[in-house]
Amino acid sequence: MSSADPSQRIASAVEAALADLSVAGDAAAVSAVANAATGKKGSLTALRRSLAEVDDAERRRDLGALLHHAMETVDSAAEQRRVALRRAAIDEQVARERWDLTETALRSAGQRRGRLHLVTQATERLEDVFVGLGFQVAEGPEVESDFYNFEALNMPPSHPARSMWDTLFVDTTETGSVVLRTHTSPVQIRVMQEWPPPIYAVMPGRVFRRDTPDATHMPVFHQIEGLVVDRGITFADLAGTIEAFTQAFFGRDFTSRLRPSYFPFTEPSAEFDIRRPDGTWIELGGCGMVHPSVLRAGGLDPLEWSGFAFGFGIDRMAKERHGVEDLRDMYSDDVRFTGQFP
Ligand code: PHE
């Protein structure tokens, strides 16, 4: 190390590096400055090499420590500069890409409020009505096993009634063992398995069938299932509940009727219709007394418990309530359509 005061030379090398770093404009410039001080051919590295020429051992140690600290100072200043540059770049990008939402916010504070989809509105109103009648709300999975969608509902494999539902199968290891649920009835079984009776439950949700979309069909639609299990439940309770629901949901000038029908999981089974004030009828859904085999599949003793179930399409009800002519309009997400229903 040359005789000119080495500690002075270390100090000025550090000072120069720090000054250069403070004006380095990008990552490459930062690395260049750091290299010029602490890199292989850097000024501080050269000073460290020349330490060998210092004879006095104690002085050599002191200078070594000083150099070590100097190099650390430069390296950490370089790192800080890199971080600052990165942060500045992000700030700059954020400022550049910033959206002025003032206008949007002002408009939505006025008349342009978002609204819930018709089907969501209908589902929430249905839940409200049934909760008012003392029901609880439950949900089940949309991807179901064959067991819940069919077998537990009294339809063993190859039961002809399975063809009542145009089923979409999920491609899994065991062919046909997993389906997109074709109705909300599988949730009946899940609720029976989980909740101790008495059970008063409604189960809304999305269901799937292999249907071509038209004015009255969609391959994805919504149902709400109802299940009551208690002691001494009769068909009169079913009819009374359907009527109470009809009036609560549609209004006092509506009424309901049951027509004999068939479902494998209810016995007897019925179709239920509602009568509009103008005297015309529309079909709303299916219902019936829960079949003893279904109670057993749900883990309940049919000698002790009885119940009824019903299920109907929510989309069709929303369509009916709002006078929508084509179900497909409800899913086209055209604001000119959806905007009509506050
Ligand atoms: N799950 C039946 C359907 O999708 C409807 C239904 C539910 C019938 C409950 C009876 C009891 O058609």
pLDDT of residue 75: 92
Consecutive H or E run containing 272: strand 266-275
Please tell me the distance between residue 169's alpha carbon and the centre of ligand 1 in angstroms: 19
Query: What distance in Å separates the CA atoms of residue 297 and residue 300, rounded to the nearest whole number?
Result: 7
Average confidence score pLDDT of the chain: 91
Asked if 125 and 133 touch (Cβ cutoff 8 Å), the reply is: no
Which atom of ligand 1 is nearest the CA belonging to 269?
Answer: 10
Which atom of ligand 1 is nearest the CA belonging to 285?
Answer: 5
* Ligand 1 neighbours (beta carbon < 6 A): 183, 185, 225, 263, 266, 285-288, 309-311
Statement: residue 28 has pLDDT above 80: yes
pLDDT of residue 132: 94
pLDDT of residue 101: 77
Among protein residues, the one with the nearest Cα to ligand 1's atom 12 is: 286
Looking only at the bridges linking them, the beta strands covering 266-275 and 255-263 are: antiparallel
Which atom of ligand 1 is nearest the CA belonging to 164?
Answer: 12
Among protein residues, the one with the nearest Cα to ligand 1's atom 8 is: 286
What's the whole-model pTM score?
A: 0.68
Question: Mean pLDDT over residues 36-49, rounded?
Answer: 91
Q: How confident is the model at residue 173 (pLDDT cuts 50, 70, 90)?
A: confident
Which atom of ligand 1 is nearest the CA belonging to 183?
Answer: 4
Count H helices, E strands: the chain? 12, 10
- For residue range 272-290, what is the model confidence (pLDDT) as tens digits? 999 999 999 989 999 999 9
